[in-house]
Amino acid sequence: MKTEKTKLSLKMYRLTLLLSFLSSHFIMASPSYLNMFQQPANTDPCYDDRGEPTRCVPDFVNAAFAKEVYASSTCGAPASQYCKSTLGKDNGIIRNCFICDANHPKRQHPASYLTDLNNPNNVTCWMSDTYVQYPQNVTLKLSLNKKYEMTYISLQFCSARPASMAIHKSMDYGSTWVPFQYYSNACKKMYSKSPRAVITKANEQDALCTEAYSNIEPLSGARVAFSTLEGRPSAYDFDNSPILQDWVTATDIMVVFSKLNTFGDESSNDEAARKSYYYALSDFAVGGRCKCNGHASKCIENREGRLECDCKHNTAGYDCEKCKAFHSDRPWARANNKDANECVACNCNLHARQCRFNKELYILSGQKSGGVCIKCRHNTAGRNCHYCKEGFYRDSSKLITHRKACKGCDCHPVGALGRTCNQSTGQCPCKDGVTGLTCNRCAKGYQQSNSPIAPCIRTANSTSNDYNKNKIPVAPTSRPRPAVCGKCKSKNKRVNVRKYCRRDFAVHANILSRETVGDMIRFTVHVISIYKPDPKQNRRGETYLWIPKKDVKCKCPKLRLNRQYLLIGKHRRRNNRTGYDVDRKTIVIRWKDRWQRRLRRFVKHQRKGKCRSNSSLRKKRN
């Protein structure tokens, strides 16, 4: 008994040693060894390991698979008889007849059998009506619903091959058709084509006619395959041949069966003979790739259910046939093995959202840049929005990409010769005797005059103190501005719901005229809209603004005739004057149409009771 226990203990000890040895080896395994079992990272075929763009193409597929095919003739509606011919031992023709019935699942031969899964162990065939003979024809139309670059078209027959047939293609979804290839045992007679024609670089888009593949034998199972590039001289330089790229492109394929192959016995009284002549195919295949011009590695369905390329390299379109918006700095081009020809964004220094391509500029730049920015914003101009427009100059303290890189010249209306200034320094062109960045004061040796034409005139006895005293007013007839005006609230251009709620009225008005009444300035205004009614003034139309004369002198607020303003203020309990009382505490700012939506929101805010009255605010403070 002890011996058995000892043996069992020894086995357990050895097993423990073995497990510990194996576990230590797995634990100490190198990371490279473990990485062998990891899934490879998903990489985009359109970019290399360094992230540089490279040519990419979608997978090679049978583009016809599961696609719908239209057939001009299909047997079985109504049910009809057809016969299969075979050759006997003595080369005699043996015919076995069957029924084609579109309503019977085992006897039907619909066009959908052309593009289903081609299983050699379960061959399914489309079949036309019997004996549709020349000059009548039978047509098959296949729509790919997308441009493809085709390598081959393959037809596998369940019947004998036709005596004459033609393959056509369309590049515009069936609107127009171009001959692709002819097959006939009488090319000259049927298609007026020589069977011995040769393709050269001068006629690479011509369709050939061949007498091969037009024999009646074998009676079934034969295949006809058309290679789109075979015999074309530029096939070995396909990337640099737009002609061949166009030649292999198609959205639709049409096969026209023009003439049946017969043994010549169809004119006899043997009814089974005519019923043995028809067109039948088991497979209609189109080998090729979704056309993406080298800018996509796959095609996907869009929201409309239409197939399109998953474009890269800043390209766009169903076939990546153009540059996407704002990427027009160089012309679109198809990608090739040497250059992915990625579309490049325009350089508009963040001041424009649109641009266009200019071929002349592109050539002049040595084929480096041809983008022209459209509708430069932030007071910039130029093909790259790289300088300030007229009336503005560069703020050297900000980058050109800054939205405030350009400052207004602010040239004095009397002292300057115009409104434009030096775009680098901001210096306005001054009249004689005028100086200053904005031409706002008289130079040394000059004094102010009352003439707007010559605001500064030379004086014989001038001192250095005259230099600081001779500042030119905005208008020669205006009175000097008081030395102390204080803070002007009307210059605060930010309007929010808090300011709206704390004030008694908010109106949109146009300034019509101005006159002095005692110590007040009365402005005649036309109230366009009322966004918050004054308790004593609640009508649109003409009314008055009453502003203390001292505030007008301080430009608090600053009003100009024939301009529209937004006025937000409080009701002042003064004399029974008609109109609105306005002072330096009233918010008065130039009207902008975009404020309408914001002010309407404020009105709704007040109607819902969310806007507290002035009285409640005062009580809360107390």
Give me the long-range contacts of 394-399 (CB less than 8 A, separation at least 24). 394/423, 394/424
Q: Which domains does the chain have, with CATH numbers?
A: 61-290 (2.60.120.260), 410-457 (2.10.25.10), 497-608 (2.40.50.120)
pLDDT of residue 69 exceeding 70, the answer is yes
318 φ/ψ angles, rounded to the nearest 5 degrees: -60, -35
Q: Tell me which amino acid residue 279 is.
A: Y
Q: What pLDDT, on a 0 to 100 scale, did the predictor assign at position 482?
A: 53
Model confidence at 585, pLDDT cuts 50, 70, 90, reads confident
CA dihedral 564, 565, 566, 570 (to 10 degrees): -130
Q: What pLDDT, on a 0 to 100 scale, did the predictor assign at position 461?
A: 61
Q: What pLDDT, on a 0 to 100 scale, did the predictor assign at position 617?
A: 42
CA pair distance 335, 560, nearest whole angstrom: 60
pLDDT of residue 530 exceeding 50, the answer is yes
**512 vs 536, more confident:** 512
pLDDT of residue 422 exceeding 70, the answer is yes
Cβ–Cβ < 8 Å for 241, 210: no
Please state the rounded mean pLDDT for residues 454-471: 65
DSSP symbols for 428-458: PPBPTTEESTTS-EEPTTEEE-S-SSS-EEE
pLDDT of residue 268 exceeding 70, the answer is no
**pLDDT tens string 280-289:** 999 999 999 9
**pLDDT tens string 129-185:** 999 998 999 999 999 999 999 999 999 999 999 999 999 999 999 999 999 999 999
Model confidence at 489, pLDDT cuts 50, 70, 90, reads low
**pLDDT tens string 96-139:** 999 999 999 999 999 999 999 988 888 999 999 999 998 999 99
**pLDDT tens string 182-230:** 999 999 999 999 999 999 999 999 999 999 999 998 989 999 999 999 9
Model confidence at 269, pLDDT cuts 50, 70, 90, reads confident
* Number of neighbours of residue 520 by Cβ within 10 angstroms: 19
Average pLDDT, the chain: 86
Residues 6 or more apart in contact with residue 453 via CB below 8 angstroms:
none
Q: What pLDDT, on a 0 to 100 scale, did the predictor assign at position 621?
A: 45
Nearest residue to 611 (alpha-carbon basis) of 526, 528, 532? 532
pLDDT of residue 29 exceeding 50, the answer is no
Q: What pLDDT, on a 0 to 100 scale, did the predictor assign at position 575?
A: 67
CA pair distance 255, 529, nearest whole angstrom: 71
CA pair distance 588, 585, nearest whole angstrom: 9
Please state the rounded mean pLDDT for residues 410-430: 91
Q: How far is CA 222 from CA 64, 77, 119, 134, 188, in A?
A: 19, 27, 15, 22, 24
CA pair distance 143, 68, nearest whole angstrom: 7
pLDDT of residue 233 exceeding 90, the answer is yes
3-state DSSP assignment of residue 144: strand
CA dihedral 492, 493, 497, 501 (to 10 degrees): 50
Model confidence at 323, pLDDT cuts 50, 70, 90, reads very high
